[in-house]
Amino acid sequence: MTSNWAESFNNTTKDARGFPITAAVAFLRSKVQKWFASRKEKADKWTKPLAPEMEEDLALHFEKGRYLNVDSCGPYTLQVHPGGTVMTGGVVDLQEHTCTCGLFQCMKFPCPHACAASQERSISAYTLCSPYYTTEYWRRHMKEQLCQLVTRMIGNCLMTSRT
């Protein structure tokens, strides 16, 4: 398996290389349609609050934050560190959604420090995530992409049939 998207796409569509152009386009349309249908099916069945990749990231961040020590600096401000030393930790502000590590505010997603702090304060980490990572946004965005793709495909077919 490759991590390069272009190589993956080329590998998936290599069977269509010898086809006449109209058959190759039909093959690619069919392949893309199957991909969208598969993703839509996955999205429709998904029941967790965040999209699958973000649920995995959140679980990983919770696991990393699990063994961190948390010291209170205020109601929403906490010092999070691995113990022994506070030099490698972070100061988390749960109200402002920031951490001195920078990841929390950059990604709009709880870093391991923020996960440890949210657990300490009994605040759901889901409330600290950007709405762009939610399952609802994922489904809505996928539907918009599919509608745009279909509109473009129909528009292209109409344009080519007139020439």
pLDDT top residue among 108 and 141: 108
In a domain, 99, yes or no: yes
Residue with tokens 């129909």: 154
- Give the C-alpha separation, 58 to 116, whole Å: 11
In a domain, 102, yes or no: yes
Domain enclosing residue 115, as ranges: 52-130
In a domain, 57, yes or no: yes
Which own/partner contact pairs does 126-129 have at CB distance under 8 Å and 24+ positions apart? 126/49, 126/50, 128/94, 128/97, 128/104, 129/50, 129/54, 129/58
Strand partners, 81: 69
In a domain, 117, yes or no: yes
Confidence of residue 38 (pLDDT cuts 50, 70, 90): confident
Alpha helices in 46-134 (DSSP H): 52-65, 103-107, 112-120
pLDDT in the model for residue 15:
81
pTM reported for the whole predicted model: 0.72
Task: Give the Cβ contact number of residue 66 at 10 Å.
Answer: 11
Total number of domains in the chain:
1
Q: Is the Cα dihedral 148, 133, 38, 6 positive or negative?
A: positive
In a domain, 72, yes or no: yes
